[in-house]
Structure 1
Amino acid sequence: MRHSAGSDDDRPAQVGRTGPPAVVQYEFRGVPVFVAHGEYDLASITPLADALRSAAEKYPRLVVDTAAVGFADSTFLNLLISVHRATDLRVVAPPAQLRRLLELTGADKVLKVRADLADATS
């Protein structure tokens, strides 16, 4: 379910719950925002990967809010890069572990990493 565009205070809505972590999506300033939370590896990436890849086919810009990511490995990084190739992807508020992964791999130079949601959607 998506909220309609136009309101900056739209609330997140559950999109799917096929297994933890669930995919949460909402719109902010007309841009689809996906909230990544929890731990991401090969065993847990599928719901988020399916949602992002599907959205990348429909929207010119996507945002992934990563503030609540507790752990991410190369599986998560590969997902971000593949979605980046398909659409204008913005990565918001990576926590220290993810920021370090982005820096070590050089992905922070390829991906559009933003400090906050307002910057990512402007």
Structure 2
Amino acid sequence: MGQPGAVMQYDVNGIGVVVAYGEYDAHTLGQLSEALHNAAAKQPCVVLDVSAVTFGDSSFLNLLLTIRQQASFRLVSPPPQLRRVLEITGADTVLDIRASVEDATSD
């Protein structure tokens, strides 16, 4: 595998924004999972910017769907590979996918 996942967090207008970088599978998901669960516990809305995610397996997808149940959840800028996984699994029909962090934090 390539670069393991990295995470950055910040708040915009009371919305927790998490930015994910790199690859995520069952072995590298810990930091991202912790960041998303913490944000969901503190804010009613969580935004995850996945524009720099290069790989996400089924455990990554499961995490997205789990967070969606805990807070209002918006997914930002999935790259083509990840968008394809979302389409194949039907997750794109239940996740709120936005074009930019600005769009995801403006309403």
Match of 2:8 among 20, 24, 27: 24
Aligned residues, how many?
A: 103
Larger Rg: 1
Instruction: Give CA deviations for 1:21-56 in whole Å, capped at 9, x if unaligned.
Output: 332101223321100110000110011101111221
Pick the structure with more helix per residue: 2
Aligned equivalent of 2:92, options 108, 111, 118? 108
Q: Unaligned regions of 5+ residues in structure 1, if any?
A: 1-19
RMSD: 1.1
Unaligned runs of 5+ in 2: none
Higher relative contact order, chain-length normalized (CA < 8 Å, sep 6+): 2
What is the percent sequence identity of the aligned residues? 52
Alignment of 1:1-122 (within 5 A): 20-122=4-106
Which residue is 1:9 aligned to?
none
TM-score (norm 1): 0.80
